[in-house]
Amino acid sequence: MSTYCLAVDIGASSGRMIVGTIKAGKLELTEVHRFENNIVQKGQYSCWETDRLFQEIKEGIKKCKKQGIQPESIGIDTWAVDFVLLDENDDLLTDCVSYRDPRTDGIMEKVFEIFSKERLYLETGIQFQKFNTIYQLYSLQQNCPEVLEEAKSFLMIPEYFNFLLTGVKANEYTNASSTQLVNAFTKKWDDSLMDVLGIKKHMFHDIKMPKTVLGPLKEELVAELEMNMKVILPATHDTGSAVISAPVQEDAIYISSGTWSLIGVENPFPICVTKALDYNFTNEGGIDHQFRFLKNSMGLWMIQEVKRNYQDEFTFAELACRAQEEVPFQAIVDVNDDRFLKPLNMIKEIQLCCRETGQTVPSTPGEVARCVFDSLAVSYKGAVEQIEEIFEKEFRQINVIGGGCQNEMLNQLIANVTGKEVYAGPIEATAIGNLAAQLIALGEVKNIKEARNMIYQSFEVKQYSPESGQKPIQRRAVQ
């Protein structure tokens, strides 16, 4: 009898619930539920709708029941850095504020005044971004100290959903590492850092590794859903799960392509050298105690906003098609400039940036989209060159994974500007990596190497060569 696992993968713009099972040595996927995820304004803050998202998770479980699928386990991954705080009664103290909220403006610089940037990087190895959890908490400590005083539990988003499912509170390693509060070498909460910042240590829980079985569903949920299953920790950071499913590992850099683009390599130890600090690379936790040495770069958020600003008149495919008809590299913007994080109007912000830098100002939908795609490709090229400089070696291949790998124009652009072979796929990389961790925990798959071999054989991977189109590739085992 086949073993079914249920992956809950919630990104910054949408969520999906996918059932996976192994048949004839290949991983087969069935999508059972898909839903939107939006930031909403609650008072003065931009927030996530955690209550609604949990209802969507339950709805997906119910759909499994209706389809006659009985998952053995469920695993949840989401975006990183955001969290909730619970009081002594396990009630929410605040809404779940989004990392895009401006409450952390200027906070990072205040932290540097009491804990140097160099020491912070040496201890945590984490990339400096103004919305990291450490700055969100310090903002609370400075502006709403009474909230932190009442807080008894700190849970990141997937951990909060796990608590609602099981009643068990635990922090998971890959997501915890993104907070910039975990020591890169001990893989534990950095107590000395918290002491200096006045952040209470007792609200944090033990850090658990991916593949940990948290426990069964709470009895009341079993009764409500008419189903029971184990809750297993995948890499709860969505990029951590996505990297598990990157099948082209030998001599390859990965790009996890979605709302954000994560560009990096897997490494057995953290790299906290000065050059990595200068280039703002991060050492986030991965499965099996690996590190994801990567740069967090702007991704398809820009084109998502462009599409929205055009009142959804064009599909993503239509924007890419129009962009392809335009003259390339007429205007390049720094996609990682904070001005593009949450502008009032992305199109106008791009045009203003081009005007300020003396470049051709894109005006048509095709020109605006071309500017975005060209700028992303140039940004990726810069990150790839920095990785090669730090590792003092040339990487021959790039594996683009996640939803963004469906953008054939961007894949070809990446191949052209980097001069490297680009392998695109799998598309549902995060859910696949989530499922792989569950299957290993259940003993259905031996280890990560075996999982990657299975993934490579199970899903389409397209190849793009510099200055040429895509072509079929020969299947081979992961080395």
Catalytic residues, by residue number, are 238
Residue at 451: amino acid letter: A
Cα R_g (the chain), whole angstroms? 22
Sequence-distant (6+) residues with CB within 8 A of 203 are: 85, 151, 152, 153, 154
Cα dihedral 290/447/436/74 (nearest 10): -100
Adjacent-strand bridge partners of 252: 397
- Residue 150 CA to residue 434 CA, distance in Å, equals 34
**Please, are residues 186 and 174 in contact by the beta-carbon 8 Å criterion?**
no
Sequence-distant (6+) residues with CB within 8 A of 320 are: 369, 373, 407, 408, 409, 410
- Residue 182 CA to residue 23 CA, distance in Å, equals 39
Q: Going along 105-234, which residue ranges are E strands?
A: 153-156, 171-172, 207-208, 213-216, 230-232
- Residue 56 CA to residue 39 CA, distance in Å, equals 16
In a 10 Å sphere around its CB, with 0-12 CB exposed, 13-18 middle and 19+ buried, how is residue 368 labelled? Answer: buried
Instruction: For 285-349, give the DSSP string.
Output: E-GGG-EEEEEEEE-THHHHHHHHHTTT-S-HHHHHHHHHTSPTTS----TTSGGGTS-S-HHHH
Give which of 463, 428, 473 is closest to 9, Cα–Cα.
Answer: 428
Task: Return the half-sphere exposure (C-beta side, CA atoms, 13 A cut-off) of residue 276.
Answer: 24
Distances (CA, A) of 144 to 40, 150, 198, 416: 21, 11, 13, 49
Q: Looking at the chain, how many residues does it have?
A: 479
Look up residue 102 and give its DSSP letter: G
**Please, are residues 48 and 13 in contact by the beta-carbon 8 Å criterion?**
no
**Please, are residues 45 and 95 in contact by the beta-carbon 8 Å criterion?**
yes
- Residue 179 CA to residue 258 CA, distance in Å, equals 20
